[in-house]
Chains A and B, each alone.
Chain A
Amino acid sequence: MTERNLYGTAAVSALAMALVLSAPMAEAQERTPSGTLTIGWQWDPSTMDPQMHRQRYTQIISHNMRDKLFYQEPPGLTPVPLLAESLEQIDETTYEARIREGVLFHNGDELTAEDVVFTFQRLWAEETNSPRAGMGNMRNIDSIEAVDRYTVRWHTAVPFGPPASAVVGLHLTGQEILHKATYENLSMEEARTHPPMGVGPFSFVEWVPEQRVVMDAFEDYWQGSPLVERITWRTIPEEAIRVAELLAGSVDMIFPVTPDFLGQLQSANVKLEVVPGTYMRMVMMNVREGSPFHDPEVRRAMNYAFDRQAIVDFLYEGLANVNWQIPGSGQEGFIEGYVPFSYDPDKARPILSQITEPIEMYVESAWELPAQVVAEQLRGYGMNITTVVLDQASFNARNEAGEFDLLFAGGGYGAGTFLGAYYNNHFDCSRFESNRIRTGFCDPELDALERQAAAEADPVLRREYTDEIVRRLTEVHMPWVPMFSPSDVWAMQPHVEGFAGSSAGQFFNMHEVSVGN
């Protein structure tokens, strides 16, 4: 067990980080923005109201104009204080956050606890009907109140654990803070397109839907003025065109970059920013009766069957991590150095060659290539596998209905947690009630252990329970064959400096980015 992943130490490091982050403010006054940065990326934000969507890309636009209380730092996805200086646990079900003083909105107003309280109350209000209202564990929050101008307090219905895990449960990492005076007077329809007012590094200029979002540097940003004057986010859905535009010099940076283009970009005069991904690919197996994968020995053989390294080396030019356990690296519950399986065709063949019935493996079109390699490797053992490519919606429907034998699927862990939402969504028996069958795996005993671990206040015990869950899932139940996590890749012109990618494909430090010459 490594101490790095302990919740307790995470909280300590989070507090330490607060001090570090306040440092740049001193030199902030010296910075003057210059130059423009054009980013070509796949998406168009769906709304300017940060509470009416669940899309990461819409949030990226939003959080460049509106800071949150916390965000998650790439290595280990540790929560880092942003607008909150700290989060304290007053008693089992009460948490208190201290808001930074002197932080200014784009219109010059100072950020107060009232804005924070308003943000969350609007989010939970029935009239809002926000799809984000229940994110994290926010359903179990009773109330929120402003204690004084800079202090906010949450009361929860159930214990949320130590501050570092409560940050995620309270969803303080996922809610951009709104300007109360602006938003309390807007109808939902108006808020959809109203120029975002926040305390973020950039202020809104224009949004031409499906074409571009433009934002200008906010020179009074509390962490110091951004270094570029203007950022234009251009919507370029087709990757071939994104790459062409980057190579032609008409955009400065592109995201995302998929393996199809890695070779071409690596040989061109561009910089690549590579960050370990938080989206694990796995082969899900239907563990229910009637499926050839009902037998655990077959699932064990499957875990030995794949040459993951070959996929990573050839298809991803090495820019992906091989996975051998259910949690991905950087995720809570990941056990350092735990590699229970290996690529061992001799162990796989005797069992897999017995399975001769035709089997369809479903995959979304974006992941067709690795899925075909996986299918070909299985065919090598004599299995009769066909890859079937589905659109995202149909794929999702099949996944939820459990209508498959094999599924080349993915699991995102951008929040970094394993216990709670992630476990519930993939493994907990309760998911059957809302018709999310997935692999059909269900073990009440393991669920009980998960609840025990989640409620455990002692970090050492909590870690111990989590390890047990992970090992049992990975080695005993084996509903998945963990495969690999592709890295998040940004490509940019050599003159773009200071950009640091964040895992989960975020753009967190745009105010530190500058364009040379």
Chain B
Amino acid sequence: MLNFILHRAGQTLIVLFGVTLIIFFMLRVMPGDPVALMFAEGDDEDIGAARAEFERALGLDRPLYVQYFVFLGDILRLNFGNSIVRGGEPVLDMVARALPLTIELSIYALLIALVIAVPVAILSALKQNTVWDRGGTAFALIGVSLPSFWQGIMLVMFFAVWIPIFPVSGVLDTRLSITRVTGAPFTDAVLTGNWEAAWSVLRHMTLPALTLGTGICGQFVRVLRSSLLEVKHQDFIDAFRARGLSERAVVRHMLHNAMPTTAVIIGLRIGALLSGTIVIETVFAYPGMGYLLIQAINARDFPVVQGVVVLLTAMVIAANLMADIIHGMLDPRVKLSGGRGNK
């Protein structure tokens, strides 16, 4: 186990190093730069000199490799730099603001996905190869087959124009405010016992979470259904049936046995989940990590894009690692080896 973790940690460092390299030079090759964009607005008699001076103060006039090593050194000291566009706001502050929002949204979306996926998968697995099964499988595909931003826009219009029960943008009703504890609005509202705000946050998050949730629930249906099918035909289930357990109890046992694999797959989907939030947060202008990233890319806010991408990838890798370890603990048949490859 220790060997495995050390080995993976080594790999992680290599991957993160590669990510810094790619994102840094990719941004520099992309047309447009933050200072030019910033100075495109407003009138200066001598805009060339003004720009050059501002660039010099930010160190953007130094050779690229020097800038890269400065960036790398900063990252190693966990200094993610300051936003150029947002008047020098520390990138970590921006992440600390956006990340809790994205995490809450993702958890909400996961819950929605599970609420839809579990019954559908059970139905499909129990009535394998019947019309129920086929319907369930097709149903699971619908969410994956719709462009998420289109779903989002349709939901917005539906709920804004026809049935205004959910707010279509924002995080919290403007009348209310939440005392900051963790930065995650729902958690904070609950922690401070502010139930009205908690309800408001929940309602605001519903539409984006629904869009995100339907996009991933197809995966869950497939995985859970196949896990259930494998359990279904195992001896102990037959034994339960033979002992005359009620169908409910049998299903509970099946779920109990199928869940570890499903949980691991969910853990491993976190990367995809975070990717999904990029587009959805943009549609709903939900100020999480994806929204932050897109805004920063559009403004070519180098430090922000770099910091967010490095942190995001680190999180994805960490989540995958944890899922692996948990899988190993839940399922003793899986050996975690330090070796490479799939064996």
Contacts and interface: CB of A to CB of B under 8 A. Distances in A.
The reply to whether A and B meet directly (CB within 8 Å) is: yes
Interface of A: 38, 46-47, 49, 52-56, 58, 129, 131-137, 139-140, 169, 174, 188-189, 192, 206, 209-212, 214, 232, 234-238, 240-241, 244-245, 247-248, 250, 391-398, 400, 412, 414-415, 417, 420-422, 424-425, 430-431, 433-436
Given A52-B87, A131-B39, A245-B160, A211 B171 contact: yes
A47 B287 contact: no
B167 interface: yes
Contacts of A131: 38-39, 50, 54
B94 to A, nearest CB: 8
Contacts of A431: 48
A362 to B, nearest CB: 11
Interface in B34-72: 36-54, 57-58
Contact of B287 (A211, A394, A415, A434): A211
B99 to A, nearest CB: 13
Contacts of B51: 434
Contacts of A237: 285
A234 B169 CA distance: 10
17 contacts: A46-B86, A129-B58, A131-B38, A135-B44, A140-B45, A188-B88, A189-B88, A210-B291, A236-B169, A238-B285, A392-B298, A396-B36, A412-B41, A420-B45, A422-B43, A433-B48, A434-B47
Interface stretch (B25-33, B244-252, B262-270, B315-323): B25-33
B93 to A, nearest CB: 9
A88 B203 CA distance: 58
Contact of A132 (B42, B167, B177, B287): B42
B164 interface: yes
Given A52-B87, A139-B50, A244 B156 contact: yes
A393 B299 contact: yes
Given A54-B38, A192-B89, A391-B298, A133 B50 contact: yes
B160 A234 contact: no
A46 B85 contact: yes
A241 B41 contact: no
Interface in B169-201: 169-172, 174, 177
A33 B287 CA distance: 32
B41 A56 contact: yes
A394 B46 CA distance: 23
List of 4 A-B pairs having minimum Cβ-Cβ separation, nearest first: A434-B48, A393-B32, A47-B87, A210-B287
A437 to B, nearest CB: 12
Contact of A244 (B58, B90, B98, B168): B168
Nearest to A53: B87
Contacts of B57: 129
B45 A169 contact: yes
B157 A244 contact: yes
B174 A425 contact: no
Interface of B: 30-33, 36-54, 57-58, 83, 85-90, 94, 97-98, 153, 156-157, 160-161, 164, 167-172, 174, 177, 283-285, 287, 291, 298-300
Nearest to A421: B43
Of B30, B45, B50, most A-chain CB atoms within 10 Å: B45
A355 to B, nearest CB: 26
Contacts of B174: 38, 212, 214, 232, 234
Contact of A54 (B41, B83, B168, B170): B41
A161 B89 CA distance: 38
Given A134-B49, A244-B161, A393-B30, 16 more contacts: A52-B87, A58-B87, A132-B42, A135-B44, A135-B50, A188-B88, A192-B87, A210-B97, A238-B169, A244-B168, A245-B169, A391-B32, A396-B40, A421-B44, A431-B48, A436-B47
Given A136-B45, A189-B88, A241-B169, A393 B298 contact: yes
Contact of A240 (B33, B43, B153, B287): B153
A329 to B, nearest CB: 18
A212 B175 CA distance: 11
B41 A55 contact: yes
Contact of A393 (B33, B39, B53, B87): B33
Given A241-B168, A245-B168, A394-B32, A134 B50 contact: yes
B156 A241 contact: yes
B103 to A, nearest CB: 16
A450 to B, nearest CB: 12
Given A210-B291, A248-B160, A397 B32 contact: yes
Contacts of A435: 48
Of B37, B44, B170, most A-chain CB atoms within 10 Å: B44
Of A135, A235, A415, most B-chain CB atoms within 10 Å: A135
B172 A211 contact: yes
Contacts of A400: 36
Contact of B45 (A49, A132, A134, A211): A134
A137 B45 contact: yes
A495 to B, nearest CB: 17
Nearest to A394: B31
A250 B37 contact: no
Contacts of A210: 97-98, 287, 291
A103 to B, nearest CB: 26
B31 A398 contact: yes
Of A38, A134, A214, A245, most B-chain CB atoms within 10 Å: A134
A425 to B, nearest CB: 6
Contacts of A415: 43
A139 B46 contact: yes
Contact of B86 (A47, A136, A245): A47
Contacts of B171: 211
Contact of A396 (B37, B88, B168, B291): B37
Contact of A238 (B33, B46, B94, B283): B283
Contacts of A214: 174
